[in-house]
Amino acid sequence: MRHVGSILDLAHHMNLHRGPRFRSRWCVLALAALVSACDRTDPAVPTSLVPVGANALTARAGETLSAPPAVILTDQRSRALANTLVTWQTGASSGSIDIDTVRTDATGRAAIGRWTLGPIVGLQTLTATVSDVEPVVFRVTVSAGAASALLRRVPEFQETRVESRVPQAPAVQVVDAFGNPVAGEAVTFVVTNGGGVLLDATGAAAGVQITRTSDANGVAQVDGWRVGTNVTEQNRVVASLASLGTGATFRVNPRADVPARLEAAAPRSQQGVPGVDVPSRPAVRALDRFGNPAGGATVVFTPRDGAGVVIGNVRVTADGDGIARVGRWTLGTDSVQRLDATSPQFPADTFTFTATAVASIFSFDVRFLNGTPSARNLAAVETAVERWRRVIAGQTPPVRVVANPDVCGPGVPAIDEDIVNVRVYVNLDSIDGRGSILGRAGPCFIRTTSGLPVVGFVELDTADLATLDQNGTLDDVMTHEFGHVLGLQAFNWERRGLLNTTNSNDPFFQGSIGRDGFADIGGAIYPGIPVPVEETGGAGTRLSHWRASVLQRELMVGFARTGGMPLSRLTVGALADLGYVVRVDNAEAFTVPPFGSAAWGEMVMPGSTRVLSYGDDHWPTAVYEVDRSGRQRLVRAGDWRVTRRR
C-alpha cells in the first residue's frame, strides 16, 4: 500500500503543474499501476464449488456408484483452487462413503473413492462442503434391487373342506435383498399336489398353473384356489420366479365334508367269552360324498336281549378316522349274541354285530423247529396249549413284530407280521445230556402296554424226553415251560412289581389275585408271607417258581414230580395279576396239606427219588418291548448263544 500512496502523490503533483491533456493521460497510467499493485497482493478466496458431471442420479438400493461423486473448487477469479479441504457427508439412510474429507488437487478437483448406497428406496443424498461456499448436494433416486426372495402374504397353512375354496388365495411379495418390493416380476403359481385347481376372477377353474406380474408393492397373487377331494393328501401350491432357486409354498390339509353314509368298521362276526369284553369292539365309520372318513355322525349301540351289557352306547364319529366305537360290550350267557348300531342321521341303516360265546379266545401259534416232532411230543405240546387255554379266556391285542433270523433262538426265522396272542417256537434239541437241564423257555418280545408276551421260545432236551414220557411227567414239563413263556418268571414279575425280594431268604409273590388263589388252595393259614417263591437253586430256578417246600406238586414249582402237577388257582391268579383275562374256576384241583401236618412234612422233606429238577430252565435271550406299530425297545440284555458254548 506504500507504493500506491506514492503513485497517488505523484499524480497529484503532476496535475498541478501540467495542462489538462497531460493530466488525463497521467491519471490513466496511475490507475493501471494501482490495479497492478493490487493484483500482486490480494489472496485467492474459495468462491464456487460445482459438481463434476450430473448431481441428479439413479441407482439401485445397496449399489456402489460406478463413478464416485467429485467437485471442483474455484476462487473469486474462477481459478482452480488447490489444497483446500472438502468435507463429505451422507444424508439419513443414504449409505456410506470410504472417506469424509478430501483436499482439492492442482485442478481444484476433489473426489471420494466410493459411495455405497443405503438399503431404502427413494431419495438418498451426499453433500460436499467447503467453508463459506455454497455446498454441492448429490441426489440419487434409488429403486429396488434385483429380486431376491418371495415372501408369503397369506399363511402357509390354511384349513378348508375338500373341494372348497381356501379362505385366502395364495399371494407373494417379490422383494430385493433389503426387503424392498420389486415390481414387474413374472411370478408363476403351480398346483403341485392334492388335485386342486386355481381360479380366475369369476371363480371359474383357470388350470393348475397361472402367471401373475408383481405390482408396485411387489405383490403377485391368484384370484382363488380350490382344493382337491382327498383328505389323506396334502394340497400344495408353489409360487416361483425363474431367477430364484426357491419359491414359496402354500399348504392345505383338507377336512372331510359332512357325513354322507355309514359303513361297518369292525368285524361283523367274532367269538367271545361270556362275562368278558369282546376282543374287537363294534364300530361304525362315517364317510363323506368322496369316501373320506367324516366326523360328526351320532351312532347308538344297542344290545339285543341276552347279549350282555354295553357301556358307552352313544358315540359320535371322530374327525380323524370317522369312527364311532362302542365303549365296552361284555357278553352275556347266550350262545349267539347280537349288537345293533344305528344313527338318527341315517335311519335306514342298521349294522348288526354278532358274537358267538366260547370258553376261550386265547390262542398259541406254535411253530416247530428242527422238523416235525414225534406224535408223542406233538401230543405233549397240544396238551400244554389246551391246559393254558382252559384258564386264559381273553385275547391279547395284535402287535407288529419285525425281527431278524435267530433273534429269539437258533433256527427261528425272520419275522415281519402282526401277531395276536402269542407265538411260541419249540426247539427239541440236545442241551446237556440226560438229567440236569430238562428244558428252558421264556419270552423274547413282549407288549409295550401290558408286558404280556408276543413271541417266546421253548427248548427241551431230547436226551430227557423219553425219560419224561416213561415216568409220566412229559405233559407237565411241557406245560410248565409254556408257563414261563406266558410270563410266569422273575423277569416279568419284577417288571410288574409282583415280586418282593427284600428278604433274600424269603422272597414272595405279592399279586393280590394270586394271593387269593393261594388262600383258596389252603394257603390262608400259611405261617409265612404269601405267596412263597423258590429261594434255592440256580439262576433259572430261584425266584422264578413257587417254593417247592410249600407247594410241592403245583405245576410251577422248580422240580418236576411224578403223579401229576396241577395248574392251580394260585397260578391262574398269578396270570390275572400279569394282565390276562382268566377263568379261575377252570383251574385244576389242588390243595396244600395243612401246615404242620404229617402230609405237609412229607412235602417239606420229599423223597429224592420222586423229584426231578428242571435245572436252569431260564432262556437267556434278549427281550424287547414292541408296540402295535412295531416300535421296539430293549428291556433286558441277553444272548441265547451262551447256551451253545460247551
pLDDT tens readout for residues 60-81: 999 999 999 999 999 999 999 9
Q: How confident is the model at residue 353 (pLDDT cuts 50, 70, 90)?
A: very high
Residue 33's CB: how many other CB atoms inside 10 A?
Answer: 17
Question: Cα-Cα-Cα-Cα dihedral of 413, 417, 419, 423, to 10°?
Answer: -10
Q: Strand 157-158 relative to strand 248-252: parallel, antiparallel, unpaired?
A: parallel
**Using CB atoms within 10 A of its CB, is residue 362 exposed (0-12), middle (13-18) or buried (19+)?**
buried
Per residue in 568-584, pLDDT tens? 999 999 999 999 999 99
Q: Which of these ranges, 59-68, 440-449, 459-468, 581-590, has the smallest mean pLDDT?
A: 459-468
DSSP summary character for residue 610 = G
Beta bridge partners of 186: 213
User: What is the average per-residue pLDDT within 315-324?
Assistant: 96
SS3 of residue 95 by DSSP: coil
149-252 with 261-357: one CATH topology?
yes
* Domains of the chain by residue range: 2-39, 46-143, 149-252, 261-357, 364-636
More reliable by pLDDT, 423 or 7: 423
- Dump strand ranges (E) for 288-345: 298-303, 309-311, 314-316, 323-325, 328-330, 336-343
Fold of 261-357: Immunoglobulin-like (2.60.40)
User: What is the average per-residue pLDDT within 475-500?
Assistant: 94
Write down the pLDDT at residue 19: 52
DSSP summary character for residue 71 = E
Domain made up of 149-252: CATH architecture? Sandwich (2.60)
| CATH among 3.10.129.10, 3.90.1300.10, 2.10.260.10, 2.60.40.10 for 46-143 | 2.60.40.10
Residue 28, pLDDT above cutoff 70: no
Closest CA to 190 of 174, 172, 178: 172
Q: How confident is the model at residue 465 (pLDDT cuts 50, 70, 90)?
A: confident
SS3 of residue 430 by DSSP: coil
Residue 263, pLDDT above cutoff 70: yes
Question: Under a CB-based contact definition with an 8 Å cutoff, are residues 110 and 82 in contact?
Answer: no
Per residue in 207-253, pLDDT tens? 999 999 999 999 999 999 999 999 999 999 999 999 998 899 999 99
CATH code reported for the domain at 364-636: 3.90.132.10
Residue 258, pLDDT above cutoff 90: yes
Residue 603, pLDDT above cutoff 50: no
In the chain, the percentage of residues whose pLDDT exceeds 90 is 74
Question: Under a CB-based contact definition with an 8 Å cutoff, are residues 447 and 626 in contact?
Answer: yes
Question: Under a CB-based contact definition with an 8 Å cutoff, are residues 139 and 89 in contact?
Answer: no
End-to-end CA distance of the chain: 130
Q: For all residues of the chain together, what is the average pLDDT?
A: 88
**What does the alpha-carbon distance between residue 462 and residue 465 come to, in Å, rounded to a whole number?**
5
Per residue in 83-137, pLDDT tens? 999 999 999 999 999 999 999 999 999 999 999 999 999 999 999 999 999 999 9
Query: In this structure, is the dihedral angle defined by the CA atoms of residues 22, 27, 32 and 37, taken in order, positive or negative?
Result: positive
**What does the alpha-carbon distance between residue 453 and residue 457 come to, in Å, rounded to a whole number?**
11
**What does the alpha-carbon distance between residue 558 and residue 532 come to, in Å, rounded to a whole number?**
12
Cell of 472: 409220566
**What does the alpha-carbon distance between residue 587 and residue 22 come to, in Å, rounded to a whole number?**
162
Q: How confident is the model at residue 42 (pLDDT cuts 50, 70, 90)?
A: confident
**What does the alpha-carbon distance between residue 144 and residue 196 come to, in Å, rounded to a whole number?**
35
In the chain, the percentage of residues whose pLDDT exceeds 70 is 88
Q: What are phi and psi of 258, to 5 degrees?
A: -65, 150
**What does the alpha-carbon distance between residue 334 and residue 616 come to, in Å, rounded to a whole number?**
46
